[in-house]
């Protein structure tokens, strides 16, 4: 085409002969092997969107959100992280990482969920994902069915249908430091440490100032570990005002709303009751 613009008439065979003579070669874009792999895994077996963005409607252990994300480290190296998260308590329930996009690490995440939290799941729990090839694959569908779970899927190309999981990945990538990671094992240590921190020490206003594990324990026992009451209008605890409502969600009701409040020394910028509880 360049020769045509310059007014030079030359056949394709002559160009090939000259390129061979002078050792010239064109750069050809290589096919992405993982794209072919995902296409091979994918089927038309798309599940109904059972969740419909009501992530907290059914209480703990009912809606399990899952997704895959890229983790970049050491100047462009990449691995893949699969996570499963409780839509109500916000607990990270299972995670696996892999250096490839083969579906085994996604299946391992489901097995880890059953092993760690099988007794904590509600009746007929829903596993909610996007319509990616891993989640429509035959092996994934069979494992979900054999594990007593039900698939639910977001609408195509609609990240808002799995917003809490997407938000989790965003916060995680902002908060972890991978600058010292040289290999996948280094990344694994950082990810494992973050998951432990997130479940046990990352307190959330939406959970009434509790960490995800503390909130899950509060739902079961009614015991709140806070010595000073944390109060916020949009806290999940606000939705558990009566024993009946709490029992529907698998727990017991919290203490009544306080009559007076003051600035909490434990949580600057928030308000809490005057007396400890």
Phi, psi of 273 (to 5 degrees): -70, 160
Domains of the chain: 63-175 (3.30.420.10), 205-273 (no CATH)
Question: In this model, does residue 49 exceed pLDDT 50?
Answer: yes
Does residue 184 register a pLDDT over 50?
yes
Question: Is residue 198 within 8 Å of residue 212, measured between CB atoms?
Answer: yes
What is the DSSP code string of 14-41?
HHHHHHHHTT-----PPP-HHHHHHHHH
Is residue 201's pLDDT more than 90? yes
| Element holding 165 (H helix, E strand) | helix 163-175
Instruction: Among 34-48, 122-136, 194-208, name the one with the lowest average pLDDT.
Output: 34-48
Residue 75 has pLDDT above 50, yes or no: yes
Give this prediction's pTM. Answer: 0.73
pLDDT of residue 225: 87
CB 273 within 8 A of CB 228: yes
Burial (CB count within 10 angstroms: exposed 0-12, middle 13-18, buried 19+), residue 93: buried
Written as six digits, the tokens of 186 are 């280094």
- Bridge partners (DSSP) of residue 204 are 210
Give the pLDDT score at 3. Answer: 67
pLDDT given at position 227:
77
Instruction: Render 196-218 in DSSP notation, one character per residue.
Output: HHHHHH--BGGGTTB-HHHHHHH
pLDDT at 52: 93
> Mind listing the pLDDT tens digit for each residue in 120-179?
899 999 999 999 889 999 999 999 999 999 999 999 888 899 999 999 999 999 999 999
- 66: pLDDT strictly greater than 60: yes
pLDDT for residue 37: 61
């Amino acid at each position: 085409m360049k020769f045509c613009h310059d007014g030079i008439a030359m056949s394709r065979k002559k160009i090939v002969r000259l390129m061979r003579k002078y050792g010239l070669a064109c750069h050809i874009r290589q096919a992405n092997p993982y794209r072919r792999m995902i296409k091979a895994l994918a089927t038309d077996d798309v599940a109904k969107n059972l969740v419909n963005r009501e992530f907290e409607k059914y209480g703990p252990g009912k809606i399990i959100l899952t997704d895959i994300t890229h983790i970049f480290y050491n100047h462009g190296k990449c691995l893949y992280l699969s996570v499963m998260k409780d839509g109500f308590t916000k607990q990270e329930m299972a995670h696996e990482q892999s250096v490839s996009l083969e579906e085994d690490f996604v299946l391992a995440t489901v097995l880890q969920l059953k092993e760690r939290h099988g007794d904590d799941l509600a009746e007929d729990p829903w596993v909610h994902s996007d319509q990616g090839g891993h989640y429509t694959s035959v092996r994934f569908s069979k494992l979900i069915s054999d594990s007593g779970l039900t698939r639910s899927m977001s609408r195509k190309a609609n990240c808002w249908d799995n917003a809490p999981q997407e938000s989790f990945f965003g916060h995680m990538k902002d908060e972890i430091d991978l600058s010292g990671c040289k290999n996948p094992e280094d990344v694994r240590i950082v990810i494992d440490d973050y998951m432990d921190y997130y479940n046990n020490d990352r307190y959330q206003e939406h959970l009434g100032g509790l960490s995800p594990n503390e909130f899950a324990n509060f739902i079961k026992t009614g015991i709140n570990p806070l010595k000073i009451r944390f109060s916020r209008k949009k806290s999940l605890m606000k939705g558990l005002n009566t024993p009946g409502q709490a029992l529907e969600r698998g727990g017991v009701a919290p203490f009544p709303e306080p009559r007076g409040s003051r600035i909490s020394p434990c949580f600057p910028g928030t308000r809490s009751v005057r007396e400890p509880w």
